[in-house]
Amino acid sequence: MKKIVLTFGLISGVILSLMLVATLPFMERIGDAGMVLGYATMVAASLLIYFGVRAYRDNVAGGSVTFGRALAVGALIALIQGLCYTATWEVYYYTAHPDIISRYQARQLEGMREQGATQAELDAKVVEQRRFAEMYENPVVNAGMTLMEPLPVGLLFALVSAGLLSRRRRDRAASLSRSAA
């Protein structure tokens, strides 16, 4: 199980990490499309969870796997994927672009101004942004918030994969019992 979890988790983690590093320098230019691209990449990388659970079922578990075991394998792959993504962000954030939050916040304020926000609304947003920036400087909070980007997507794929791959086992068992009768 360890080999499959590590292999599929690291491959999907590398995909996420490479896309993160490739797109971050252009985030100011691509704006909100960057979020769409980022989550689309998370979905694509999370497809490897299905293939990892299937590889576990077929190569380790002898062709059948319980829902719980399939979910555990998928969740571990998702965790490794998320840890790779988080580690990449932490290195990038603290070394290459420690000012990325202030630049993002300035872009948020500019967008609010363009939409006609009042000065009171802008002032409230600045206070909110200042609190967030202070909190985000804590590496544990920073890492936790970053992990929460890909982890829910990965866990959803783990859940769906466990349901699909364990159900196939039950379907085969049911058809075998019908043919034996």
Residue 82: both structure tokens together: 């998320």
Query: pLDDT value at position 172?
Result: 57
Task: Show the low-confidence residues of the chain (pLDDT under 70).
Answer: 28, 31, 167-181
DSSP reduced 3-state for 154? helix
Query: pLDDT value at position 169?
Result: 47
Residue 63 backbone zone (phi > 0: left; psi -120 to 50: alpha; other: beta): left
